[in-house]
Structure 1
Amino acid sequence: MGPQHVTPEVADVLRACDYVVAADKGDNDGLLAARRVVAGAYGVELVAVTDPERDRSDPVDYPAAVREWHEARVAAYETVLRERGGEAAFLVWGDPSLYDSTIRIVEELATRLPLDYDVLPGISAPQLLAARHRIVLHPVGAPVHITTARRLRDDVSAGQTNLLVMLTSSLDLAGLEDWTIWWGANLGTPSEELVAGRVGEVLSELGAARARAKESAGWVMDVHLLRAPA
């Protein structure tokens, strides 16, 4: 999640690789800056690749829009890998097994290039959220449902009562005022923000904290746990 959360295993690999490949999303890209800090800490060059445009206007066929974006990313990364060769690393923000495209992109790259790859685990956003708030992500003997903000309403309507919510473009918590929230933004960075409490009592605090995170870093990447009243 931040330079301090790089595991010894990953640190050894970074020192040994030739360069890190990272998407460049334009001016004031805070995530690219964070990756530069990590790469610099281990003496490895970072190669920034202009990230293709993505339809973010809530398209009717969301999966198709994402597939198109992924295909464009694969093509951009393929060009760099063909030109440079050597051993490259991708630094995934959070956890490549949860709502992230990197593994799928590398799988596709492996069909186009003579390459092999490994996935090395680190500290995930849900882990860090739980640690910061000193909580367990689920009640005794109960599950935690991992979902996205896009699906939150449908999941609540389907009866889910303990939800870990990712990919939050905005906080829409109307009707959940009696639920409890444990929220974090930009975890592991200097712009980290944390809020916890009954939703109806912390709504204004959440909005202010989210605004501070964005003002400080130029971006917001947040995750939260929502739990229905017992």
Structure 2
Amino acid sequence: MPRYLFVRTRGNRLGRHPYPSETYHGRLRELTERLNVTDSTGRPVRISRTHRFRHTRATDLINAGVPIHVVMRYFGHLMPTMTMHYAKTRSEAAEREFLRYKKVTADGRVASNDPSDLFDLVHLDQRADRVLPNGWCLLPPRQVCAKGNACLTCDKFVTDGSRRDELERQLEDTENLISRRQTQFTARHGEPMGVDNIWLAGRMAETTALRKVLISLDELAVHSDGKTRAVRGTGTPTRRETTEGDNC
């Protein structure tokens, strides 16, 4: 078996010689042009620059949770600092993704905190306990949550458009749960649960918060600058943010 993937086609009976670099890069350049290979913005991607693939592969492995020492061995890195360069890239990408959206609290208000301060509070790459399926917890790192899973009635809860699918699923699940429990309660007691029922009051507060958040996300998504905005807290009316030129 030849030791090279691209072997010279002439004067190479035993397959011991690779393409000259000029030929290799020229063929790859021609291939990308014929296939019209582009990135997400439509710009041509020159796959002849093979280090791009190496960089992408390393970042993908780290993002997938592959241990640093395994990535080191995979790429032949001699020092951990070489591999940690890609881990730093991952952290920067996480921050950029977080800052793409403005955050919305559980009552549909735009979070007043600076987006960078929010990222520091959440510590996406260090504080996994602050990352929720439907948003983030802004509780200071040294404080302990006393609300259990009642995030939708907490003023430390924020979310944004990137969590919309989970918020919609949570609303549907909660409404279905209320319906099932009401049916069971009525069958047992002859009448449905009243508004003074503690369990029902808690679930109704959650569905109210979820509807407010989803309505606010819809309004913020069509803001004049076209950027998705965010919402927060319970019990206050949804409002639009009118400030122009916000950073997302």
TM-score, normalised to structure 1, is 0.29
Give the structure with the larger helix fraction.
Answer: 2
Higher radius of gyration, 1 or 2: 2
Give the structure with the larger strand fraction.
Answer: 1
Q: Which has the higher contact order (CA 8 A, sep 6+)?
A: 2
TM-score, normalised to structure 2, is 0.28
